[in-house]
Structure 1
Amino acid sequence: MVVSDLSPAPCASASSRAHPKARPGYGKRSVPVQRPPHEGDFALLPERERHIAGYVDALPDGAAMDIKSLARSQPLYGQMAVGSALRALGVAGHLRHVRCLSGESGDQVRWVTRTFWSRVARDNEWWNAFLAAEERRPAPQEAAEAAATTAHEAPVSLPVPAQPLVTTVPQQRTAEPVPVPDPVSVSQATAGRPSPAFLALAHLGRADSRLALSAADCAALEQMAAEWFARGVDADYLTRALTAGLPASVDLPFGFVRRRLRDKLPPRLPAAAPAAPGTPVRRLMVECTECGAPGRPEAFRDGLCRPCRDPDPA
């Protein structure tokens, strides 16, 4: 018996940085009826997973659960290690990444990504029953709050205008405004406010150095990444999908990312149509903790989709 593997979870508050709060509707969600914490929690986990589990368990509901925030807020493990630990905790039964229907915007539905957390490891049957009950619950009123606060919390995530900015100079006794475009100022404004797609691509190298892209690479791939955002995903989802299951080395990051942007493009989710009588409206999808692919809860085992559970079927 290895004694160190049975020790209590290490102290998880060793960082001086305050852990960030997720956007409204996102982040950590503790499952109900949690037992009180004690020093033996997570004792059977390996050291790295034990530390990350202790840290996550101490976070309040609504805390950011993306890999970058977790790696930045605790000092022992970087983003690759945190990502691996989260996948292991999903397999162990402590968490599930879930996409929940939160509202509609125009002709598209709006989804938010949550991480449900259990201090006690749960089996697949428990998680399926819990998520089925969660899907039947009335939808929380978070969409309006999220829309009202997103601009204040992440101003750089606002999309870049597709057309050049135009100022108007009112003329005395003239009803028509006179357009006065300024190409230089327009270029500077666009350069100072990159699109969410460009930012997500630029941060890939920080999530995993094997996918480091140049500014020119990000600009060339920006439209492909923007299509992902147009289909309702966020930067965290795109990053997980592009960095999951990387080979030991990536010789050409640009070509590799371009291929994954094309091959893993998620389906477009139209606005929910009136359901036929007796047809349940699907409001919840589990995300694979390895590749981020969404699906029905019953299609997952240990938080993994079938391709990630069995990458080389006989």
Structure 2
Amino acid sequence: MAKPGYGKRSAPDQQRPKPDDFQNLPPREAYLASLIDQLPENAAMDAKTLAKAQPLYGQQAVRSALNELGRAGHLRRVRRRIPPAEGETGTRWVFHTFWSRTARDDEWWAGTLEGDVTPEAAEPAAPEVSEDVVRPSEAYDVLARLGLRDPRLALSAADCTALEELAGEWLARGMSPDQLSQVLTAGLPEQVHSPRAFVRRRLTDKLPPDRPVAAPSPRPRSMMECTDCRVPGRPEALPGGLCRGCSGRDRGAEPMPTQTQIHQVRARVEEMRAALRG
């Protein structure tokens, strides 16, 4: 919140919030407009504070976006002179940023603020602060960009941090960042009063089941068999893929001829020699 006498003031006679309130604005301006529209009265609206309140844009980008929102008719910065309090001297000024969800032209702004507006005070540029850049997680990035897909779900940096773990669980269960964004932004109601609570509810209620763990493939129930005769056996019993019988290791030496067989062979040899001499 801004200091007393400063900050956001809602302009009168605004239309009720609608999903397409900022659809004609560029994505950056639409995102920040949706965020500003949800801020309470008297909330700080300087570039430095708004840069810290959301995860996408730094001070310079926010400052440029505020200028564009002013040109589009959504805001005016005003300083007002107020009488000094009792015991005080000199002139006191308070600074407000009037915000209108409904875009207004210059004539409307002049008529609405007539009598209370003096030329805008130049806001001093806030010094840039050099900080280490920490790359956000994929889940945080998905949440931070929801407001670009639909301004109704513009989340602050604190919102993204609070919901980061839930969103990360979706990604861990196989959901791609784009699929997660589609689930969170699909079928939104006409008005989302609390983007953080709405996104948390969807992340919780629609959480997909754990990815099934692939069952280990059963070891094949197989047994080696002899390459030749196909007799089955354990590997150690079939060296070279052959059983003992087919490898010849169980065959003994050739049997010795009998004496009768020897005499028959000798007699046959003598007959052949006699025939050759005759």
Q: TM-score per shorter chain, which class? A: 0.3 to 0.5
| Higher relative contact order structure (alpha carbons within 8 Å, sequence separation ≥ 6) | 1
Relative to the length of structure 2, the TM-score reads: 0.41
The structure that has the greater radius of gyration is 2
Relative to the length of structure 1, the TM-score reads: 0.37
